[in-house]
Amino acid sequence: MTLKQLRYLIAIAEAGSFSAAARRAFIAQPALSRQIGLLESELEIQLLERQHDGVALTDAGRRLYEVARSVVQKLDSVKDELASTRGDPKGHVAISIPATASALLLPQIIARAAEKFPSINLTVWDGLTREGGQAIELGKVDFGVVPNAEELEHVAAEPVFTEDLYWVGQASESEGPISLAEAGATRLVMAPRTLHLRRRIEQAAMEAGVVLNVVYEQQSAPGIASLVRGGLAATISNWPPLEGHFEPTAARLIVEPRITRTVSIAHSVHKPLSFAASCMRELVHGLLLEAVREGRWRGSLIERGSEEESQALEQASPAST
């Protein structure tokens, strides 16, 4: 069994026919058929079934295909790592960011990565915080920006800054800070309780003995913003959505007590960062620092400490607690 034969099997399985796979692999079809025949003879098992519209994997063929894909991906990753040691990071890197910060971060991440690391094939996934956290836990992304790293399991997280939350509603004579009790008494539209932002707000309200007057629930920031702009309700939000979705409404810092969240960069402890992913992690960390320093994401920076302190939010497995 050779690596070349495994690549040919993958090509056939994904193309659906010998002819299409031969074109993709730049090999004559008879030669391709011969290599698969040799592989089946060596293993003494049928891997492919010919059908009227192409070929299909047998059960054994599908199992070998899954193993072959894993082997080939790991070998290709090693090649990228070795090439990266020459100072030019290579390979695929997947990142998750909160959907509410997409307008702020996505263009800068894409542009800065293209400028600094042109050999990195980058995927940036922007979605709900819950989904982003799950993607980090399961290793579906190399790392992500999350405001709820303390809720995740088996992740290593570096806190970057703490962000304040704001009451957002129609402009009034008073545009200074607002107490949580005052904010909670207004008609509110909020995200569902499944989202971290809503849970954090309700936790702060419960601790302060404040009852929130939630009259509407909406899943998306644009949906929430439409009700706020229409004067139907106010909401409580972090800063990034305010500049894009909520204009021309007023944003007032919530005090007595202030509600804060820690925004971190996190990755699964079961998926160590490649050299390329480490380079992108530093790039994203720098962009977050810029956003906070320039006031585009309101918050207070957390001083970067030693390696041990950087791992302060690393979640222990249940067996080790």
Tens digits of residue pLDDT in 165-182: 999 998 765 678 999 999
Strands 299-301 and 155-164: antiparallel
Same fold, 3-84 and 166-258: no
Q: Which residue, among 227, 244, 242, has the nearest Cα to 298 in the 3D structure?
A: 242
**pLDDT value at position 145?**
96
**pLDDT value at position 307?**
41
**Alpha carbon distance 250, 231 (integer Å):** 12
**Alpha carbon distance 161, 147 (integer Å):** 10
Over the stretch 46-80, which tens digit does the pLDDT of each residue have? 999 888 778 888 999 888 988 888 787 777 666 66
Long-range contacts of 132-135 (CB under 8 A, 24+ apart): 132/96, 132/97, 132/98, 133/196, 135/96
**pLDDT value at position 82?**
62
**Alpha carbon distance 232, 247 (integer Å):** 15
Residue keyed to tokens 């509603």: 169
CB-based contact 236:165 (threshold 8 Å):
yes
**pLDDT value at position 25?**
81
Architecture of the domain spanning 166-258? 3-Layer(aba) Sandwich (3.40)
**pLDDT value at position 125?**
92
CB-based contact 165:238 (threshold 8 Å):
yes
Is residue 308 pLDDT above 70, yes or no? no
**pLDDT value at position 315?**
42
Q: Which residue, among 188, 134, 148, has the nearest Cα to 166 in the 3D structure?
A: 188
Architecture of the domain spanning 3-84? Orthogonal Bundle (1.10)
The beta strand positions in 45-117, using DSSP E, are 48-51, 54-57, 91-98
CB-based contact 163:242 (threshold 8 Å):
no
Over the stretch 244-298, which tens digit does the pLDDT of each residue have? 677 767 889 999 999 999 999 999 988 888 888 999 999 999 999 999 999 999 9
As a residue count, the chain comes to 321
Is residue 227 pLDDT above 70, yes or no? yes
Strands 120-127 and 91-98: parallel
Residue 186's Cβ-count burial label (10 Å; 0-12, 13-18, 19+) is middle
Name 314's Cβ contacts closer than 8 Å, sequence gap at least 6: 155, 156, 157, 269
- Where in the chain are the domains? 3-84, 91-162+262-315, 166-258
Strands 250-255 and 178-179: parallel
CB-based contact 268:137 (threshold 8 Å):
yes
**pLDDT value at position 248?**
63
Q: Which CATH class is domain 91-162+262-315?
A: alpha beta
